[in-house]
Amino acid sequence: MTDIEKGLTEAQAEELAAQGKVNGSAEIKTKSVGQIIKENTLTFFNFLNIVLAVLVLIFGEIKNAMFIGVIFCNTGIGIFQEIRAKRTIDRLTLISAPKAHVIRDGTEKEILNSRIVEGDLVVFRSGMQASADCEVVTGECEVNESLITGESDPIYKKPGDKILSGSFIVSGESRAVAVGLGADSFANKITSGAKYVKKTDSKMMRAINTILKGISICIIPIMLLLIYDGVFVSGQTVNRAMVSTVAAVIGMIPEGLVLLTSIVLAVSAIRLAQNRTLVQDMYCIETLARVDVLCLDKTGTITEGSMQVVETKNFDCTDAELDAAMTALMTALSDTNPTFCAVKEHWGGSSDWTAGEIMPFSSARKWSGASFEGKGTYIMGAGEFILGSDYAGIKQKVEEFSAGGRRVIILAHSPESFTEKAVPAGTKPLAMIAITDKIRAEAPDTLRYFAEQGVDIKIISGDNPVTVSCVSQKAGVKNAEKYIDASSVDNIGELVDEYTVFGRVTPPQKLELVKALKAKGHTVGMTGDGVNDVLALKEADCSVAMQSGSEAARNVSNLVLLDSNFASMPKVVAEGRRSINNVERSASLFLSKTTYSLLLAILFVIIQLPFLFEPIQMTLINALCIGVPSFLLALQPNKELIRGSFISNVIRKAIPNGVSAVISLSAGIICANIYGFTTEELSTVSMFILAGVSFVIVLLACDPMKPWKIGMVAVLIGAFVCGYLFFGDFFGTVEMTREMTMVTIIVTACGAALTAVLNFVTVKIANNITEKRKAKAR
């Protein structure tokens, strides 16, 4: 049993620590760096490319293995991102106060939070944070539990009450016995629920991985067929058959697509950082752009977390007397609760009244006041506690005045002084003062933006539902009048569609609401700033924390608004749209190459001809017709709405491009046979035809056309021509004859026209299908 005067002895504390009854830290292990490196390195995708590179090095030249560089970049970025996530989780902590004050051997001592033992007598004063669950034994205090429970009003704590870990002392002083330590404390129970590495949920990356898996399945049998055809049917040497097979296969692999996606998202993260938004998970930029339900906490998101005086109404005084009395009270008193701060901001001047006896605010009394020489006593606080039975005479007026979720305090006066710290006799009400939460200036415009984008808003708060509903209506939240008190509901998840505002919500209920929304197929975004938001933030598809909030909320969130400005959200959405739409555009270039490489491989197996290209030739076409333009196009502005699925949009563009390229090359082969081109001449002509059609595909991807895009394509064509003229031998080409030039120009021109026509027809068909689906849905 703890001595409430002297606390534990040092010997007792050491014995309890040895028994493990010490606060310590409740760490949860995550994957090691070695495991992360292993999982990102030992993949089928990497294995396949390494095998291809080894084959080239064994049977061909080093220059044909240049494609392997992209694989190292992809793997490095993946490892970096996961290690970054691991470190964020490892340093997750809810308790920011590093030290605590305890009584041991009758003396107050300052010790590390981790050294608090069970039964320690902890001292709490204004401004301190509890690092363990404690039970008050002496004194009284007001505690701010907003980061724990979401309740913004200070909570009065008296002997027998618990002070939860993670809460702050607002006023007063008390001593409390530590009863919940380490993993058993309230804060660390929430921490343990949030300490896991959440799997990245990126539809874009999921689609790209699906494409890569599909391609991987096709590659092995096609490789075997090409090798068999080259060696046993076409009579090539083993070296030539292996190199041409690798050339065909690397053309099928969109190895730069993953790298491009990572670069685009990294650039987005840099842009957002310049706008005071920290991106802790690159893929959340995409996710937020897809969010269709956004869950908001009232405090710190819609409101500033502080209060303001909005209206006054006099009973029996003039405005001048009201102002003079309130200014005098603000000068005399030094309370720190939110209500007092709001009143002091409104009446914060100086007064020449001389204060005698002062009664600071007490949660037990629910009022504060002061006696002034020659002026009598002025008191402000809750009317029923100040006026007692006389409150019935003004109760109806107070209730009417409090409409809209406003908090009402009463200013009263008595000519007498305080008697034994009680309200003096003859106290009469002078005025009513209405106080409400400060709505962020930018909140209405931001909420309107999301409403226009079709994003449904849900307000989830630990505060009174009536108050939250009223504040939400003022801020412009649609259907904010539909509210419910979550404390009266057993299964809150069943009500997500019926209500917009949820008040008195506990941390587990917030988590339940997010899970229920996700179960209904929604992409859920969540904003928050408190410990009570941590579980829901971690569960949401995209979580956003305010810099001014708790460290725990910041650590588990995908995005942190460094200026705690809710108005930054539209910028993040716009950046996500730019990333998704532009990567989708660039992906169509990569998949066009995959499509024609796959079809060409099948074609050459069927016609029993050796594959026309060397790996280095495909590397040149990939770099100038796909790599460089896809990167530049992916960084351009793009605020279009995200429409349709990533895979269907990409394939719809890639298939006509790939088909037109194969038809063009087939025409080139036919012409080559007519003119009797050698294998080297046919390879050179084919490289020019494929490059020409690919540049047309790039031009089509540049829609809407801009001067810089035309200039880009012109420069790339010039680079290709220079590569042929000055490094022809390196790229395995021969000098162009008049016949070769004629065939190249005619076939490329026809291929360009065919590509444009196929794209136009595909778009028309896709639009007709979309319109029919919309009509059927209506």
Q: In this predicted model, what pLDDT tens digit does every residue of 393-423 receive, in sequence order?
A: 999 999 889 887 788 999 999 999 888 778 9
- The pLDDT, as a whole number, for residue 87 is 67
- The pLDDT, as a whole number, for residue 96 is 40
Does pTM surpass 0.75?
no
- The pLDDT, as a whole number, for residue 28 is 46
- The pLDDT, as a whole number, for residue 40 is 73
- The pLDDT, as a whole number, for residue 554 is 78
Could you confirm whether 297 is annotated as catalytic?
yes
DSSP symbol at 455: P
- The pLDDT, as a whole number, for residue 88 is 56
Q: Return the structure tokens found at 387.
A: 């006026």
Q: Return the structure tokens found at 358.
A: 């002062």
Q: Of 333, 369, 372, which Cα lies nearest the Cα of 356?
A: 372
Q: Return the structure tokens found at 220.
A: 């092995």
Q: Are 657 and 595 in contact (CB under 8 A)?
A: yes
Strand order in the sheet with 367-372: 303-314, 428-439, 407-414, 376-381, 367-372, 355-362
What are the Cα distances from residue 683, in Å, to 479, 689, 694? 66, 10, 16
H/E stretch holding 171 reads strand 168-180
H/E stretch holding 320 reads helix 319-332
Give CA angle at 111 (107, 112), nearest 5°: 165
Q: What DSSP string runs through 647-692? A: HHHHHHHHHHHHHHHHHHHHHHHHHHHHHT--HHHHHHHHHHHHHH
- The pLDDT, as a whole number, for residue 95 is 40
Report the distance separating Cα 250 and Cα 87, nearest Å: 36
Q: Are 219 and 253 in contact (CB under 8 A)?
A: yes
Label residues 741-768 b or e (16+ Cβ within 10 Å = b). eebbeebbebbbebbbebbeebeeeeee
Report the distance separating Cα 716 and Cα 135, nearest Å: 73
Beta-strand runs (E) in 391-541: 407-414, 428-439, 456-460, 483-485, 501-503, 524-528
- The pLDDT, as a whole number, for residue 38 is 82
Q: Of 456, 502, 498, which Cα lies nearest the Cα of 483?
A: 502
| SS3 assignment, position 400 | helix
SS3 annotation, 188-252: HHHHHHHCCCCCCCCHHHHHHHHHHHHHHHHHHHHHHHHHHHHHHHCCCCHHHHHHHHHHHHHHH
Catalytic entry in 120, 297, 456, 541: 297
Contacts of 57 (CB under 8 A, 6+ apart): 65
Q: Of 42, 33, 25, 31, which Cα lies nearest the Cα of 198?
A: 31
Number of Cβ within a 10 Å radius of residue 586: 27
Q: Return the structure tokens found at 419.
A: 């008697």
Using 70 as the pLDDT threshold, list the residues of the chain that sit under it.
1, 25-31, 44-45, 60-71, 73-74, 77-78, 81-82, 84-98, 146-153, 190-201, 255-256, 363, 550-552, 774-778
Q: What DSSP string runs through 351-399? A: --PPEEEEEEEETTTTEEEEEETTTEEEEEE-HHHHHGGGGGGTHHHHH
H/E stretch holding 142 reads strand 133-144
Contacts of 43 (CB under 8 A, 6+ apart): none
